[in-house]
Amino acid sequence: MISEMPIGSPAWASFACSHPSATLFHQPVWAQLLEECYGHRAFALVLSDRSGQIAAGMPMVEMRSRLTGRRWVSLPFTDHCAPLASSEGALADLVGWLVEKQAAGEIPSVEVRWALPVKQGVHARQPYV
């Protein structure tokens, strides 16, 4: 099951703090700071397993702009923020959900500051030389 979780949720904080690939940018305090400073809604997008434990997720900020419209970014004002996952399968499921829901118009465009698994509908862009 994939859902939006409050960024300050103890479940997200526990997952982000215990994951070996997590960085400061995954910690709730970073997204909360962005939310407070810039007024954009922050949340964690998570994939939960059958037992309700988080299997994959990423912090997100919903950006709204007259120029670029509404979009989900993981994370703005951040060099990189890889999705966290307990397995490659969990990551593939999360990315697949994003592609499917965005293509159906159920969620806004999505920008992830990290390379995602190659999948139809995922477009990579390299902003650095």
What CATH number should be reported for the domain whose range is 2-112?
3.40.630.30
**Residue 94 in contact with residue 101, Cβ under 8 Å?**
no
pLDDT at site 110: 86
pLDDT at site 129: 40
* Domain range summary for the chain, segments of one domain joined by +: 2-112
E strand or H helix at 100: helix 88-103
CA atoms of 46 and 2, how far apart (whole Å): 6
pLDDT at site 117: 58
Per-10-residue mean pLDDT of the chain, 129 residues long, equals 96 96 94 93 96 96 88 86 93 92 89 66 49
Whole-model pTM: value is 0.84
